[in-house]
């Protein structure tokens, strides 16, 4: 894959948290469903409940369905026999209307299932694990004064083949006091954020997309939309940077890569279940402002590159996924260097943001809490002369690849 093609597609891997939010969210049914190995789990009464981003299921019904024997729920602490072994679950039971509920992820993972949330169908999917080595991914460790920071290089979009993650990720996260992310993707559907996206990503002066890009580029947009079952003018109200990322997102979703399975959201959901704070190193406003401030020329260039390489988006994301699962540092560095083709793009997407994030991580390391931080940001932010790893090394820290 050429550098030009890589550069055209990097925003997909780094900023898919924004892609899923480009349009107002559609309200999902209040009660989620639960599937076990593709079969819907039936609840005669007391259906699952969505609460603060966590799906709670009635304890006794779910235990019976998963062949788990309940031993005790004293003071809410759940002791059960799973696969012949007595275990204590990491989350306490919660009584709602006289029924004991527990997070489905806690039950599923304790019973040896892979657990994922499918936002499209408003359901939690439990799948029996096939013995395999989890993706190696990218993980570094930094220590200072009793504080520990784990640095995780994420892919914001992923598929089920990324899981289970390598045990090193789960072991590090199990001890974390804080989860740090670029933005909390679980908040993407919040009304204020949806309003912000529409304010920045759409034209407010009566003009439309065709007034801001060449006739040839506009024609190509219409042709691709038509081929994908949409009206040629479906994205007319949106700016070129939204159109670019939306088209690339649609293609990658077609190949099975979604933000709902991304590394960021996986750990945000686990943080909610563990009830540990989620801290943002950036904000939705700062990320959207970055895209919105791209020059008119850069916005059209990025859009044209995505249009030209549209049929290869899924192949390119496949290559990035393979790189992540192998934990291939050399390939990641090559990918990062491809940003250098356009100075404006590189500075905005990486250099400026890396410095801000490295300074915040420096603050965590110098804190007096003696805490553990689990930081998850896009993988391309870490390597290279202006990457977070080098910036921290320049501050005097030892950064160890795990």
pLDDT at 109 over 50: yes
* Confidence at 243, pLDDT banded by 50, 70, 90: very high
* Confidence at 30, pLDDT banded by 50, 70, 90: low
Q: What's the mean pLDDT when you consider all of the chain?
A: 85
pLDDT at 220 over 50: yes
**Does residue 161 share a domain with residue 18?**
yes
pLDDT at 282 over 80: yes
**Does residue 286 share a domain with residue 323?**
yes
Contacts of 366 (CB under 8 A, 6+ apart): 144, 145, 147
The answer to whether position 40 is within a domain reads: yes
CA proximity to 401, closest of 335, 333, 337, 327? 327
**Does residue 187 share a domain with residue 308?**
yes
pLDDT, tens digit (0-9, with 9 covering 90-100), for 310-347: 877 667 788 888 899 999 999 999 988 887 778 999 99
Q: What is the mean pLDDT of residues 164-183?
A: 92
Lowest mean pLDDT among 127-131, 221-225, 347-351, 377-381: 127-131
Distance CA 80, CA 89 (A): 8
Of residues 76 and 277, more confidently modeled: 277
pLDDT at 14 over 50: no
CA proximity to 255, closest of 331, 305, 312? 312
The answer to whether position 374 is within a domain reads: yes
What is the total count of domains within the chain?
2
Domain termination residue (choose one: 86, 118, 150): 118
Of residues 132 and 71, more confidently modeled: 71
Lowest mean pLDDT among 117-131, 148-162, 316-330: 117-131
What's the start-to-end Cα distance of the chain, in Å?
28
Of residues 51 and 291, more confidently modeled: 291
* % of the chain with per-residue pLDDT over 70: 90
Q: What is the 8-class DSSP label of residue 339?
A: G
**Does residue 42 share a domain with residue 18?**
no
Q: What is the mean pLDDT of residues 172-180?
A: 95
**Does residue 380 share a domain with residue 301?**
yes
Q: What is the mean pLDDT of residues 29-55?
A: 79
**Does residue 164 share a domain with residue 70?**
no
Residue with tokens 């999902």: 28
**Does residue 234 share a domain with residue 111?**
no
**Does residue 185 share a domain with residue 57?**
no
pLDDT, tens digit (0-9, with 9 covering 90-100), for 349-394: 999 999 999 999 999 999 999 999 999 999 999 999 999 999 999 9
**Does residue 357 share a domain with residue 386?**
yes
Lowest mean pLDDT among 158-162, 215-219, 304-308, 360-364: 158-162
Q: What is the mean pLDDT of residues 1-5?
A: 44
Check residue 15 and give its pLDDT. Answer: 45
Q: What is the mean pLDDT of residues 139-149?
A: 97
SS3 assignment, position 186: helix
CA proximity to 4, closest of 350, 309, 290? 309
* CATH code of the domain containing 85: 3.30.457
Lowest mean pLDDT among 107-111, 176-180, 233-237, 388-392: 107-111
Provide the residue range defining the domain that includes 96. 33-118
A 10 A CB-CB count for 312 gives: 16
């Amino acid at each position: 894959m050429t550098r030009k093609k890589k550069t055209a597609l990097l925003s997909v891997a780094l900023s898919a948290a924004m892609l899923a939010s480009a349009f107002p969210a559609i309200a999902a049914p209040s009660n989620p469903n639960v599937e076990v190995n593709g079969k819907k789990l039936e609840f005669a009464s007391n259906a699952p409940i969505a609460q603060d981003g966590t799906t709670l299921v009635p304890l006794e019904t779910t235990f019976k369905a998963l062949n788990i024997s309940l031993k005790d729920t004293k003071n809410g602490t759940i002791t059960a026999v799973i696969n012949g072994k007595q275990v204590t679950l990491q989350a306490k039971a919660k009584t709602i209307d006289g029924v004991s509920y527990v997070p489905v992820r806690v039950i599923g993972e304790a019973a040896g299932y892979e657990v994922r949330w499918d936002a499209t169908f408003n359901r939690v999917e439990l799948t029996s694990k096939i013995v395999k080595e989890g993706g190696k991914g990218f993980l570094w460790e930094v220590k200072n004064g009793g504080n520990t920071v784990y640095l995780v290089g994420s892919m914001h979009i992923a598929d089920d083949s990324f899981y289970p993650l390598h045990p090193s990720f789960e072991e590090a996260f199990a001890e974390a006091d804080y989860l740090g992310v670029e933005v909390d993707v679980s908040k993407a559907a919040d009304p204020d954020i949806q309003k912000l996206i529409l304010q920045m990503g759409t034209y407010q002066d009566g003009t439309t997309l065709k007034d801001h890009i060449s006739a040839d580029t506009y024609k190509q947009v219409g042709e691709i939309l038509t081929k994908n079952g949409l009206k040629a003018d479906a994205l007319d109200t949106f700016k070129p940077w939204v159109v670019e990322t939306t088209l690339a997102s649609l293609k990658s979703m077609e190949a099975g890569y979604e933000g709902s399975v991304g590394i960021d959201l996986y750990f945000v959901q686990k943080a909610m279940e563990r009830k540990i704070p989620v801290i943002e190193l950036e904000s939705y406003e700062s990320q959207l402002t970055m895209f919105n401030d791209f020059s008119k020329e850069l916005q059209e260039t990025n859009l044209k590159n995505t249009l030209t390489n549209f049929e290869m988006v899924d192949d390119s994301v496949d290559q990035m996924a393979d790189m992540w699962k192998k934990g291939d540092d050399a390939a990641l560095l090559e990918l990062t260097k491809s940003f250098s083709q356009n100075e404006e793009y590189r500075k905005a997407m990486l250099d400026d943001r890396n410095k801000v994030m490295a300074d915040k991580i420096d603050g965590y390391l110098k804190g007096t809490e003696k805490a553990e931080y689990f930081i998850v940001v896009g993988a391309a932010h870490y390597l290279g002369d202006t990457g977070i790893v080098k910036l921290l090394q320049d501050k005097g820290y030892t950064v160890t690849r795990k």
